[in-house]
Amino acid sequence: MAKILAIDDELDMLILIKNILKKENHIVDIHQTTTDVDENSLGKYDLVLLDVMMPEVDGISYCKKIRNKVDCPILFLTAKTMESDIVEGLLSGGDDYITKPFGVNELLARINAHLRREQREKHSSLNLGNIRFDLSANEVFVNENKINLTKSEYQISELLAKRKGQVFSREQIYERIFGFDGVGDSSAISEHVKNIRAKFQRVGETPIATVWGIGYKWD
């Protein structure tokens, strides 16, 4: 089961996509315009379906805008078949495209292929620029330099990195890492973040940003 976001200005198309994917037990959110989407919630999706030809903001422009906020696959839905349009979409940060009209089996095959690949990659590693997380070993590297994080520091870093761009409050981080029954003060998260930053700064990286009055995010 995956959580999927579909954006298309054709309501009939959205309803069709939702019905198809619900039969596969996926959870699907649909929107007719990009302006209806809460960009702070993008990190919760496992895959995004994005129509190219839309009013206000077209799919390619929107992909460029959100690509640094999501690390999940973005698949374009397009009636365009010109090679230049396809190339532009992929260069904007898209992972694949599905040409309209498409069959049910093709849609499912493309989506499931990307979800399987994403699942395999998340089990092994997470790459964000020069920073690489070895998820199986609970280790993080900048280029070839291993960052010696404590267990809690690593867990905080991985939580933020997996939801790059999403802002977490200290309380949310504390609950995710230590659970609701964790004994301690969420202000300890600030000290953990301070230590994490110091260790990354030694190798020239500053991945964790403070969103004043709210919390932290992986930049």
Inform me whether the pLDDT recorded for 71 exceeds 80.
no
pLDDT the model gives residue 115: 87
Q: Which of 131, 128, 155 is nearest to 145 (CA)?
A: 131
Inform me whether the pLDDT recorded for 51 exceeds 50.
yes
Inform me whether the pLDDT recorded for 182 exceeds 50.
no
Inform me whether the pLDDT recorded for 184 exceeds 80.
no
Across 173-199, average pLDDT:
77
At 22-50, the pLDDT tens digits run 999 999 999 999 998 988 788 889 999 99
pTM (whole model) above 0.75? no
**Three-state SS at 20:** helix
Q: Cα dihedral sign for 173, 178, 181, 183?
A: negative
Helix axes 188-201, 151-162, angle to 10 degrees: 80
Backbone φ and ψ of 72, nearest 5°:
-85, 165
At 133-148, the pLDDT tens digits run 988 888 999 988 999 9
